[in-house]
Structure 1
Amino acid sequence: MSAYSPEWLSLREPADAAARAPQLLEPLRDYLTDDDEVVIRDLGCGTGSLGRWLAARLPGTQHWILHDHDTDLLAHAVAGLPRTTLDGSPVDVVTEQRDVTALRAADLDGTSLVTASALLDLLTKDEVTALAGAIVEAGCAALLMLSVVGRVELAPDDPLDDEITAAFNAHQRRITGGRRLLGPAALDVAATAFGRLGATVLRADSAWRLGPDQAELQGRWLEGWVGAAVEQVPDLLPAADVYLQRRLEMAAAGELYAVIDHGDLLVLPPSLEVAA
């Protein structure tokens, strides 16, 4: 199952929703209070899971601009976004098929809020720095959610857990297409970039917590996690195959618990002061 397929994104959506940090919403609502219409740009929107989670949690009329390179995912996202907000105001949606790494301040003119989910770790340091500069220069807020931070806890534990985790994290930081991805460093790099520009940065944990009732998601995640580790460190074979089979059997039997750590950022323009 592709990491960007509608099937995978649908399977992970409940875990994403449960993980997102709700404590970041109150300062965000306070910031958006004076906007007659909230204009939200969702970068790399996928099937729109962040929009489905957020639109109904914010008041006021909302205009969503969904960005993705995949037209099929954009169609899913438009169809699934709520049509009313927290206070019953309307939501309208448009799409833009474009490279989100090329966005600059002028492209964000009139935007109230930039959002993204599971995106920062797929970018390079230069791309994250440029995005931070564009957002701060445009004077809008940003809610950047579910960035991987490189920590995984499995129970019961296994002697290979740490080695698989290290190899996966190295894969997340790999060079692809001439680009060095940030992987688990993305959240720190983004927070530093926004902070240097004078923005207010609030951070919160947003871990997946997968129990026995989420065996299908556990299994799909394990396959992708171990697969990426082996791709990065082929010498892990055949031990990783045995490990994966053992873990999949535990998931199917309802014996596995997994915590996959992520982090969320809320960024508010430099002129604002918000209590952490």
Structure 2
Amino acid sequence: MVEQNGTEPDGAEEFDGDWLDLREPFDAAARDPGLAERLMQHVDEKARPCFLDLGAGTGSLTRWLGHFVARPHRWILADADAELMSRAFDTMMDAAEDVGWKATWPQKKALLVHSPQGAWRIEGILTNLADAPAGLPLDSVDVVTCSALCDLVSERWLIRLAAALARRKLPFYAALNVSGRERFTPPLPGDALVARGFLRDQRRDKGFSGIALGPEAPAVIARVFAAHGYKVHRAPSPWIVRRQSREMAYELALGHAEAALRHERRGAAQIRAWAEARGGQADDGQLAVRVEHQDLLCLP
């Protein structure tokens, strides 16, 4: 069921499965359905399209995008983290059962999720995505997808991937790329300091061939794929975390503070005070957060 092509890159950003589970409903609410529908129109002539999902994590994008396909199709989940990959398959089975669908593992080679519109065949490969496109089965797929990945990679990494996809005329769907400053409400005096430190953390090397794109990702994706003749479609996909989403608001505030502390040592006391205040607001249901993202669909 899971093929192993490599190991996790040194220095790569790591993600906790519980965090991915927490953010999944916010991801699903944020992604733009219009771009998903446009992608399905592009692959409409494919009887059984195959999607390769890079940095699949726990399979959040597969569970969301698969509902737009409306016919039998195949997924190959690519990630470097074996624990997340195992969790992805368990979560797929649980999600299928939650909506009354049957899930089977014929010969333990692939997970089949039997939807009313046809089976989803789901496989996995463990591969070092830092080496992409090396190690990816690009000749066997019809679409390459990712979610919340491209702001972690470098421009050099993206150029390599785009060239490989262009040679094969493969569409590229990249959801949830950070595109601007986060807004915590109500405002606090330390907001600017935390935002500055967090931005510096977004632009550090995260194990993908150089400095991460961070909020420059949407513009760079568009430019790199347009240079290969792709038509690039963009849509906003902000996280909107309302006050009642206490756990998500708390984790966002804590994560921002921890990232800022790596780079703003002189402001450490103010950042810690900010984190304590924001944590209290979140616990009291008084903290709202908006995180700007963009979805991009690049069609050959």
TM (normalized to structure 1)? Answer: 0.91
1:214 paired to 2:240? no
1:25 paired to 2:56? no
How far residue 84 of structure 1 moved from its aligned partner, in angstroms, is 4.2
1:95 paired to 2:124? yes
1:75 paired to 2:106? no
1:59 paired to 2:70? yes
The answer for the alignment partner of 1:257 in structure 2 is: 288
Matched residues in 2 for 1:102 and 1:62: separation?
Answer: 27
1:10 paired to 2:27? no
Matched residues in 1 for 2:206 and 2:251: separation?
Answer: 23
**Secondary structure at the residue paired with 1:235?**
helix
Worse-matched range after superposition: 168-177 or 137-146: 168-177
How far residue 133 of structure 1 moved from its aligned partner, in angstroms, is 1.3
Q: Deviations over 1:227-268 (max 9, x none)?
A: 101111111210111111111111111111110111111111
Matched residues in 1 for 2:153 and 2:243: separation?
Answer: 33
The answer for the alignment partner of 1:47 in structure 2 is: 58
1:158 paired to 2:188? yes
Q: Deviations over 1:2-59 (max 9, x none)?
A: 9511111101111111111111022111111100111000001000001111111212
**Secondary structure at the residue paired with 1:63?**
strand
Deviation >3 Å, runs of 4+ = 103-107, 175-178
Matched residues in 2 for 1:242 and 1:124: separation?
Answer: 33
Matched residues in 2 for 1:84 and 1:147: separation?
Answer: 31
CA RMSD of aligned residues (A): 1.8
Worse-matched range after superposition: 91-100 or 43-52: 91-100
Query: Which consecutive residues of structure 1, in runs of 5 or more, have no partner in the other structure?
Result: 270-276
Q: Aligned pair in 2 of structure 1 residues 84, 187: CA closer, same or farther (>3 Å)?
A: farther
The answer for the alignment partner of 2:197 in structure 1 is: 167
Identity of aligned residues (%): 32
Worse-matched range after superposition: 177-186 or 113-122: 177-186
Aligned residues: 267
How far residue 176 of structure 1 moved from its aligned partner, in angstroms, is 5.1
Alignment of 1:165-204 (within 5 A): 165-175=195-205, 179-204=210-235
Q: Deviations over 1:160-192 (max 9, x none)?
A: 212211210111111356731211112211111
1:224 to 255, 274, 290: 255
In the alignment, is the contact (CA less than 8 A) between 1:55 and 1:84 conserved in 2? no
In the alignment, is the contact (CA less than 8 A) between 1:114 and 1:142 conserved in 2? yes
The answer for the alignment partner of 2:106 in structure 1 is: none
In the alignment, is the contact (CA less than 8 A) between 1:3 and 1:9 conserved in 2? no
Alignment of 1:106-145 (within 5 A): 107-145=137-175
Matched residues in 2 for 1:209 and 1:122: separation?
Answer: 21
Q: Which amino acid aligns with 2:133?
A: R
How far residue 78 of structure 1 moved from its aligned partner, in angstroms, is 2.2
TM (normalized to structure 2)? Answer: 0.84
Q: Deviations over 1:89-129 (max 9, x none)?
A: 11111111112243339831131111111110111110011
**Secondary structure at the residue paired with 1:239?**
helix
Matched residues in 2 for 1:154 and 1:256: separation?
Answer: 7
Query: Which consecutive residues of structure 2, in runs of 5 or more, have no partner in the other structure?
Result: 1-12, 97-112
Q: Which amino acid aligns with 2:129?
A: V
Matched residues in 2 for 1:176 and 1:34: separation?
Answer: 38
In the alignment, is the contact (CA less than 8 A) between 1:121 and 1:147 conserved in 2? yes
**Secondary structure at the residue paired with 1:150?**
coil
Matched residues in 2 for 1:60 and 1:176: separation?
Answer: 37
Q: Which amino acid aligns with 2:50?
A: V
